[in-house]
Amino acid sequence: MATAGAKEIILAEARRIAQAHGYNGMNFRELADRVGIKPASIYHHFASKAELGAAVARRYWEDAADRLDAIRVEEGSPEASLRRYPETFRRSLESENRLCLGSFLSAEHDDLPEPVMQEVQRFAEVNVAWLGQMLMSAGIVRSNDAAEARARAIFASIAGAQLMARSRADITVFDTLVAAYRESGLLPS
């Protein structure tokens, strides 16, 4: 396995494990078994579990930022982009009822090493900033403070909808809640 390729495979599989079991459920032995290498080989790429966890969380928010930018470009309007925002969380549920990595790791806050927690917080910041930009661009809110408050409410609501759906292994719970957010005016319809 080539070094750069191995690191990417380790990151991808560690992400899948963390989305299903959280940071505490991620161990090098299971990860190595899934990747097809010896556990000690992981240390060639990541000096510790904390370093691996931080790298996984960083990659996750970077991918999320890229996906949000792609939605903005594809849609061309902030209103249409906001309508598509819930799909970024729905995709995790569609993938074996996994939870958003940012949400899962946030729930483990007290047990996370500081570098991992910083990356998890960055995920929330990226989402809130993007939502705030879309809300301002759409003219839904008039001030930066209002944009941030509304963006945080949307982010928390969508993450909560995902959590409720996952706990019931029923993606229609997510869809029903998102529809209710649209009906109430939290999200554009």
- What value does the mean pLDDT take over residues 3-14? 88
Please, what is the average pLDDT of the chain?
94
Q: What is the pLDDT of residue 4?
A: 66
Query: If one looks up domain 3-184 in CATH, what number appears?
Result: 1.10.357.10
**Has residue 180 got a pLDDT over 60?**
yes
The pLDDT confidence band at residue 49, using thresholds 50, 70 and 90, is very high
Q: What is the mean pLDDT of residues 33-48?
A: 92
The model's pLDDT over 146-166, given as tens digits with 9 standing for 90+, comes to 999 999 999 999 999 999 999
Dihedral angle sign, alpha carbons of residues 100, 124, 18, 157: negative
Question: Average pLDDT for residues 67-81, to the nearest whole number?
Answer: 97
- The reported pLDDT for the residue numbered 137 is 97
Per-residue model confidence (pLDDT) at position 98: 86
Q: Looking up tokens 């957010």, which residue turns up?
A: 181
Residue 2 predicted with pLDDT over 90? no
Percent of the chain with pLDDT over 90: 85
Residue 1 pLDDT exceeds 80: no
Mean pLDDT confidence for 7-31: 93
